Structure 1
Amino acid sequence: MKKLCLFLIAAMLLMPLFSSEYEKLKAMEDSGVQNADLFYNLGVTHWQLGDSGLAVQYFLKALNIDSAHSGARANLNYVTGLSEDRELYPKHGFLLRLTLQSYDFLNLDRLALISIILFFIFALSLSWLLFYDEEKERALPELITGITLLIFLIFAGLSGVKYYRFKNNNKAVMIEERADMMMEPRVDSRRIAVVHEACILVVEKQQDDWALVRSPDGKSGWVQSSLLGFVSE
């Protein structure tokens, strides 16, 4: 009991510090600053203030800019692992997890750098092929040129996909304690399911003050937009 009282007193003393830190970070965001570290720090501050839904929203914002941000990824997994809807998320096998982790590691900056390097390698191999002695066997330079072109196209395609997802992120987070997913976009419609704070949803479309969302277990229903925190706003 004594330890609990000391903890509550310490929390009350630290709360103004967290609020002050949040105000500074929020002012930076409102001024137009957008970077992964800022959103990560906002997520941590919201978690310290007890707002798990907003914490998840800002961790997702950080990962939308930098998918390789290890702090945001670790904290996102931690918070969602404590949420009431943690059992809704699908369990991935080892190979799929490894593939997703590799894709996350290749953020936009890394993909752009690798694509530029591969383009120069392709240009060099193409020059080698064009000026290769016509009397010699050309199989080796043709093979190397073809392989470098293929790898370059793969990474360029990944860059395009990741950039499109960065600009058109359709994820949202439940920022209220709970909400009903309805069959139709009205309050008197039939309830399909219930989602809780910090649950990550996929927005399929929006209509007036409602959003059609898909839960981690694949159920789709309408939720009032005011209850959601959108990754792309």
Structure 2
Amino acid sequence: MKTQDLQLKYRSLIVILALICSAFLASAQTPQQLFETGNSQYAQNNFEEAIKNYEQVLDAGYESAELYYNLANANYRLNRIAPSVYNYEKALVLKPNDKAIKNNLQFAQNMTVDAITPLPENTFKKWWNQLLNLFSLDGWAIITVVLIMLFTLSFLVYYFGNKTVLKRSFFTIAFVSLGLGLLSLTLAFQAQSNEKNKRFAVVFSPEAEIKNAPNIGSDEVFVLHEGTKVRVIEEQGDWQMIRLADGQEGWIPKADVKLL
């Protein structure tokens, strides 16, 4: 009798464990499913739940421009300035020429308190930066490889060709592709340098005092508010030295900003 009772208890325990495992597996979602669930919640104006689902995708180690864009939109609908700007900026890193991201980022930036006028750029620098921003570092690297290959093939056809017209045409193609390849290579190195040397962050604190030295007792030089984008120049302990687009510099506690 005791043996039968013991067997019955074991069977009951196995059934319970099986039910628990089944419930866990049913509730577990893949990153794609979480993303789609977040989109569904967003469509129903349930922005808090949408944010939770999008953040679970990020926690799982997945990211995309669409994910950051949707996460930014959900925060924007809740009037959360800093998370909106931050996630639009993250999306823009992955898709630097996306018009929708740029437009929505502008809307989010319009909610910020700080009005910062960037330093003026000369015409050449402006054109250079516009050209540089056409593609990412990987994009310029791929273009460079393609152009160098085109130069090599064109030069071989020119060198071994017999017809004068053919040789002239491929010499021109080789010359142009070499020039464009060197320009593309220069832009690739510039993009790489920018990625290494330019670290940006977004202010998350509602109000942050910017100091003239990395300690709490130093003098305040100016105040920033949430959503403002800054460039990080240096780190020292719990402080970061930042520079604004208008050239102002100062020290801010690390806890007040979030690196992009």
Q: TM-score with structure 2 length normalisation?
A: 0.72
Aligned equivalents of 2:123 and 2:175: distance in 1?
A: 32
Report if the CA contact (8 A) 2:140-2:184 is conserved. yes
Give the 3-state SS of the residue equivalent to 1:105 in structure 2.
Answer: coil
**Aligned residue identity for 1:56:** V
Q: Which has the higher contact order (CA 8 A, sep 6+)?
A: 1
> Which segments of 5 or more consecutive residues in structure 1 lack a partner in the other structure?
1-13
2:187 equivalent to 1:158: yes
Instruction: Tell me what 2:205 maps to.
Output: 176
Aligned equivalents of 2:120 and 2:53: distance in 1?
A: 38
Instruction: Tell me what 1:6 maps to.
Output: none
Give the 3-state SS of the residue equivalent to 1:88 in structure 2.
Answer: coil
Q: Percent identity?
A: 22
Match for residue 211 of structure 1 among 236, 240, 255: 240
2:62 equivalent to 1:33: yes
Are the structure 2 counterparts of residues 217 and 146 from structure 1 closer, same or farther at C-alpha, using a change threshold of 3 Å? same
Aligned equivalents of 1:132 and 1:40: distance in 2?
A: 53
Report if the CA contact (8 A) 2:233-2:242 is conserved. yes
Instruction: Tell me what 2:115 maps to.
Output: 86
Are the structure 2 counterparts of residues 185 and 109 from structure 1 closer, same or farther at C-alpha, using a change threshold of 3 Å? closer
2:246 equivalent to 1:225: no
Report if the CA contact (8 A) 1:64-1:166 is conserved. no
- From the CA coordinates, give the structure whose radius of gyration is larger: 2
Question: 1:80: how far off?
Answer: 1.7
Are the structure 2 counterparts of residues 171 and 15 from structure 1 closer, same or farther at C-alpha, using a change threshold of 3 Å? farther
Aligned equivalents of 1:167 and 1:46: distance in 2?
A: 29
Are the structure 2 counterparts of residues 93 and 48 from structure 1 closer, same or farther at C-alpha, using a change threshold of 3 Å? farther
Instruction: Tell me what 2:158 maps to.
Output: 129
Aligned equivalents of 1:159 and 1:95: distance in 2?
A: 18
Give RMSD over aligned pairs. Answer: 3.1
**Aligned residue identity for 2:239:** W
Question: 1:187: how far off?
Answer: 1.2
Are the structure 2 counterparts of residues 111 and 126 from structure 1 closer, same or farther at C-alpha, using a change threshold of 3 Å? same
Question: 1:77: how far off?
Answer: 1.8
After TM superposition, the structure 1 stretch with the greater mean CA deviation from structure 2, 143-152 or 154-163, is 154-163
**Aligned residue identity for 1:192:** V
Are the structure 2 counterparts of residues 229 and 186 from structure 1 closer, same or farther at C-alpha, using a change threshold of 3 Å? same
Are the structure 2 counterparts of residues 124 and 115 from structure 1 closer, same or farther at C-alpha, using a change threshold of 3 Å? same
After TM superposition, the structure 1 stretch with the greater mean CA deviation from structure 2, 59-68 or 170-179, is 59-68
Q: TM-score with structure 1 length normalisation?
A: 0.79
Are the structure 2 counterparts of residues 166 and 35 from structure 1 closer, same or farther at C-alpha, using a change threshold of 3 Å? farther
Match for residue 107 of structure 1 among 131, 136, 153: 136
Are the structure 2 counterparts of residues 94 and 55 from structure 1 closer, same or farther at C-alpha, using a change threshold of 3 Å? farther
